[in-house]
Chain A
């Protein structure tokens, strides 16, 4: 320990002797690491798997069951109510849920000002499929229409000032609903169950309503919806259930490869039957997309974050080269001192230890600087790309990666100069 303090003392003296080059080295390395780390935070979060145990078992089926002919089209990214009903006839999936999102206004009493809310209109299996935690109450007993809703914890606290509000009544767009459950803190990021059009960047919804009630009350989808025949999209209760108004996402849970194969076959048979009945003229183009591939399938990957990732990596490399350059100059300036110590009997291993302590000290300063710069950089990115804001958080794992990266970069920066200082020709070095 005493030796370590000695090495630290020597390192500190060395810093004090020429503080500017040292500070520049630390600053440049902090800049490179901070900028790289801020973008890596977004990249890591956006590409993380929110359901690692399940994401290979949840699938989005899509079919070309549309009233127009197209030989090389991808199937629509949302399904009609009637197509979902046909798919739901299968018992192969362990769980299945259709869903879409809509906007509404919530209030406790008619005299209160309304609170704008985002509604997920779905079926009961949604909660088990996506591991949604319930804090109070329960989900709907079945998939029938009912004037019952579930609230997110934040919405319950915002409207009632507390979370245990099961049995309370609320006005949603002037209709009376009963709260039957309250979710615990839950934020699926990225929101893969609603991945089309970069919706996966958005926060989870405020309230949850049964699908049949959503159709009965004509809640229009606030995301992707298409109408393919002479249907009035405002008449969801009638046209929405029978005509080609496509607005539903549909997820099925297929736990085993055998189930997945059986479901593919079921989809193929369904399309063949529909074609045979003359209802759908297009060729089969079935898709059964795994949850972890859904963003890529919809082409919604963030190009900006990827582009910036390439550039920040380049910037980090430049900073490492620059810091190495500065570090080399600093060591060459101290060359005589190193050589003198070697001439007085210091072993190379001792010099290497001294350099390791130097590096550790530099790593500590750099880590602090990088964290501050990364924080500032993340705030700047949030300002310029506000839609990515939810993906800006750090956790212990990310912090440990930053620390490890800092250590590696500091080591790389001091590696060549330290080798040169320790292993050069002593005679030559003393003459210089």
Chain B
């Protein structure tokens, strides 16, 4: 059917067409922005963390008595807990840490080269106090220097050596070798590969680690365990009982794999993307109902007209295509208007949340989805239209 005749047909029901166009445009706008947010969340969850996510378990816990929260009773408790956890079948390595990786925020501070403080300062760097096995548990590749083999007190007479990640070393020492030099927190013993520290930090891969005893754990601490690939679930199940047997004066806040920890880190974004996707699906459903209703009503109201066309020689497939074409045209027009709405919505959303700008291919993808939904919705009314007998035309005579 020629385009101008399709336009003419739409013009005959201006109000209905206008309502449909507005809905399609808004649905298109929401669909586009939902895809964008879902993409962004997926990208965030898939960004490299430098950590073995599935095989590493993090136990967050805290002693419930004052004495156990302080050195030396704390040191003894940690040794007993790690020995017991190491004995669980399937545990390959275990370490303590004042905090785990993949957090929103936590214990952090600035790290700089004391000789050029202003130029080299990195703010909000996560500061870890860990046992020597920390690097083995997280499988952090050593890039330069030598990893400390035993715990040295941070506030002892000899300065406790510091291990920093590659990104931090490059920032503080401007790309020159860092091992053997000194930062404000101590001498740099080694540089390890980047891993995801804290989200609130300026750069998530900046991390500073000191192998040292824990003196106080008023905020709790983490036990990090690496397991064999097939035993993570079993180790996880055994952990509460094993730790309670070591000392019952503890509170276990959670036991998670690092993969779950990463998921939680982006739970807000995941929640919003899920809600928007659900809403987009509802909007598509609403648009399908609209398209169905419009096509169905049109078929009922214009049975005589369809009958005349059939009497004049129009084939069933022509009638079918005519009805579908009308809806396709409405959808394309709605999508064109929807691009403007999508840009506006994107601008509005970017004022309250972080959302990427629209790319050129997304409108095409969203238009394809919309066309598919409209086609499905219009199929049945169009099929009904093909059943209108040419004899219906005689009723108009």
Contacts and interface: CB of A to CB of B under 8 A. Distances in A.
A24 interface: yes
A28 B19 CA distance: 14
A111 B125 CA distance: 42
Contact of A322 (B29, B105, B251, B286): B286
Given A308-B275, A326-B289, A385-B268, A314 B30 contact: yes
Interface stretch (B130-138, B347-355, B370-378, B385-393): B347-355
A114 B219 CA distance: 17
A325 B23 contact: yes
B297 A332 contact: yes
Interface in A347-380: 380
Interface of A is mostly: helix
B143 interface: no
B16 A384 contact: no
Interface residues of A, number: 46
A332 B13 CA distance: 12
Contact of A114 (B15, B23, B64, B345): B64
Interface string A237-268: 00000000000000000000000000000000
B353 A303 contact: yes
Contacts of B30: 311, 314-315
A275 to B, nearest CB: 22
A152 interface: no
Given A307-B353, A314-B29, A384-B275, A326 B219 contact: no
A220 B218 CA distance: 7
Interface stretch (B84-92, B173-181, B276-284, B358-366): B276-284
A13 interface: no
Among A219, A326, A333, find the residue whose CB has the most chain B CB atoms closer than 10 A.
A326
A328 B15 contact: yes
Interface string A390-427: 00000000000000000000000000100000000000
Given A174-B65, A220-B218, A303-B352, A324 B270 contact: no
A328 B16 CA distance: 8
A192 interface: no
A312 to B, nearest CB: 7
Interface residues on B, range: 35 or more
A119 B62 CA distance: 16
A105 B64 contact: yes
A326 B27 CA distance: 17
Interface in A151-173: 173
Given A174-B66, A314-B345, A324-B19, A329 B29 contact: no
B272 A304 contact: yes
Contacts of A272: none
A35 interface: yes
Contacts of A333: 297, 300
A106 to B, nearest CB: 10
A318 B345 contact: no
Interface string B313-355: 0000000000000000000000000000000010011001100
B286 A35 contact: no
Contacts of B261: none
Contacts of B26: 314, 317-318, 321
B339 to A, nearest CB: 15
B286 A318 contact: yes
Contacts of B219: 220, 222
A324 B22 CA distance: 12
Contacts of B348: 310
B290 interface: yes
Interface in A257-315: 303-304, 306-308, 310-312, 314-315
A297 B219 CA distance: 27
Contacts of A218: 218
A310 B287 CA distance: 19
A329 B296 CA distance: 10
Contacts of B54: none
A98 interface: no
A319 interface: yes
Contacts of B345: 310-311, 314
Nearest to B105: A197
Contact of B286 (A173, A319, A332, A380): A319
11 contacts: A28-B286, A116-B64, A174-B65, A306-B353, A311-B279, A314-B29, A318-B283, A321-B23, A333-B297, A384-B275, A385-B268
Given A319-B286, A326-B289, 20 more contacts: A28-B286, A31-B286, A35-B279, A35-B282, A103-B62, A105-B64, A306-B353, A308-B272, A311-B33, A311-B349, A312-B279, A315-B283, A318-B22, A318-B26, A322-B19, A322-B23, A325-B293, A328-B16, A329-B293, A416-B15
The 7 closest A-B pairs by CB, nearest first: A384-B271, A306-B352, A325-B19, A303-B353, A303-B352, A329-B297, A114-B64
